[in-house]
A and B are shown apart, each in its own frame.
With several copies, the nearest count.
Chain A
């Protein structure tokens, strides 16, 4: 794992760095004029500054990926759907109270086989973005996708999901319609499925709203997509008030495809054209199609029960912890 040496970041990170820098300069000046040397203090401060700079550099690098993952010109779910699947037919509605357009769901063919395709849809222009609520789903959206997943499950169609959402919609009406329950049920439904589920993170993978569609037998992630328990902005709001906080939080959250592969949360990184998927969407779609076909091939001969078990196994082994028999409170 990519560890870093700094463990504690002061509240006002940049000011602190600057202060350290000035302190170091001052020490240097004093030793220059007085002949008294503060080697240890100097070294410590220099190291601190170096680390701060390293962190800053990493944060900026990560932030670029965050920005790329949100780039409006990136191919979105509809672009992948229309270019990867043949004969796609969109299905609508939760059969209960609403059609939520922030999630697109339907049936299509890939390599001659029928699959269900479900993905967040942020919308391609302002009008659509407002109509699709910027890809933030209501409980009804997750209920529609559950309906389509269950339909696919019944007919033995593999399921492909595209993840691209800032998160589930956080609004009063969403709460009153059971947002928590809808997400949890979506997870449950995905664990019940006896068909292959291939998940692709194509842009923003925001929290529970992303996870709700992301219980896959195989989880792939575009190089510049992100996947996180909380948005960097949300995290920074909790941790710091510094405007640079979001960048630092992005780095701390380890939300990039490389970190996620490292942690075993995803199975594959799909590399994007130089500069990001938006520079050559046609090629991006073509590449992704190949990987989806490969992923589907992997599970061609796996039977339903095994698929379900593999999915359970995969997610139930996620976690890092230590076992210690020492009594933490022996002195109490």
Chain B
């Protein structure tokens, strides 16, 4: 058989070679050092929700280049590229799902779609998901992964921070629980909006979670930031997250929390 073996890959953290099959089976976690590698929205949904239970919503919403934003490329071409690269039509996938039998509204961001940046579509999908939660009295669960606001939508991307927080405010008024999962990385406009107003905030180990990224902070304070800057462990110590949970245990902890909230 001349069928090619998949290429060996290297861990971004410990730099050791990993067997790609093992990496894949192990939820993209380095079997050597436990580093939690990138995992896309679809895989995340697969490992978090009950098999076949996810029903995607609002998949037909697409971003438009309403500012004619030029960059090295136009926003339109970036969107096309991102769609092809990620296999998604935007940086978040939302839908109805079951987690160990508990029905929820589930939103999962994907960093591979333009760095998980939040533009009009991400905001609108979160609104649709929150409205769905309220209408069906379903707990809301969102996995964050984002570099922040989507610059290419200018001020409108900033307004998505307000928009999403307003949705969460209505969720709170309706006494719907909201659990937020912080995955690597979660920064900027997402961390300063819907991510941090959750009832429960759970972080994956080693996740960068901050408002301003380390390089921006270094530029401001003119010195190096500590090596654990923005890390899950530092955030736990600083009171920013409720707990750090390994990827393999997230489904279980979610199910346990859902059981508690389903009083």
Contacts and interface: CB of A to CB of B under 8 A. Distances in A.
Interface of A: 1, 3-4, 6-11, 87, 89-100, 107-109, 113-114, 140, 144, 151, 154-157, 168-172, 174-181, 183-185, 187-188, 191-192, 207-208, 211-212, 214-215, 227-230, 234-235, 238-240, 252-255, 259-260, 263, 265, 311-312, 315-316, 318-325, 328-329, 332
B184 interface: no
Interface stretch (B17-25, B32-40, B106-114, B119-127): B119-127
B66 A93 contact: no
Interface of B: 60-64, 66-74, 76-77, 83, 87, 89, 119-121, 123-124, 127, 149, 151, 153-163, 165-170, 172, 175, 177, 188-189, 191-197, 199-201, 209-212, 216-217, 219-221, 225-226, 229-230, 234, 236-243, 253, 256-257, 259-261, 263
Given A90-B242, A263-B156, 15 more contacts: A1-B66, A3-B68, A9-B70, A91-B242, A97-B239, A114-B261, A192-B169, A211-B159, A228-B154, A234-B216, A239-B72, A259-B155, A316-B166, A321-B62, A323-B62
Given A154-B175, A228-B158, A178 B239 contact: yes
B72 A99 contact: no
B156 A265 contact: yes
A99 B195 CA distance: 19
A327 B220 CA distance: 45
A316 B63 CA distance: 16
Q: 6 nearest interchain CB pairs?
A: A93-B239, A319-B120, A170-B212, A180-B191, A7-B74, A229-B158
Contact of B192 (A3, A183, A315): A183
Contacts of B155: 227-229, 253-255, 259-260, 263, 265
A165 to B, nearest CB: 13
A324 B60 contact: yes
A147 to B, nearest CB: 9
10 contacts: A11-B72, A89-B243, A95-B239, A99-B239, A114-B260, A253-B154, A320-B156, A323-B61, A328-B83, A328-B89
**Which of A113, A170, A316 has the largest number of chain B CB atoms within 10 A?**
A316
Nearest to B209: A180
A324 B260 contact: no
B226 to A, nearest CB: 7
B62 A188 contact: no
Given A94-B239, A187-B161, A312 B220 contact: no
A55 B196 CA distance: 39
B202 to A, nearest CB: 10
A255 B151 CA distance: 12
Contact of A171 (B68, B166, B175, B220): B220
A11 to B, nearest CB: 6
Contacts of A311: 166
Given A172-B221, A180-B196, A265-B155, A99 B238 contact: yes
Contacts of A181: 192, 196, 240
A25 B257 CA distance: 70
B238 A235 contact: no
B155 to A, nearest CB: 5
Contact of B196 (A157, A185, A328): A185
A170 B66 contact: no
A6 B69 CA distance: 9
A92 B211 contact: no
A254 B193 CA distance: 22
B30 to A, nearest CB: 26
A207 B123 CA distance: 17
A319 B167 contact: no
B263 A113 contact: yes
A319 B240 contact: no
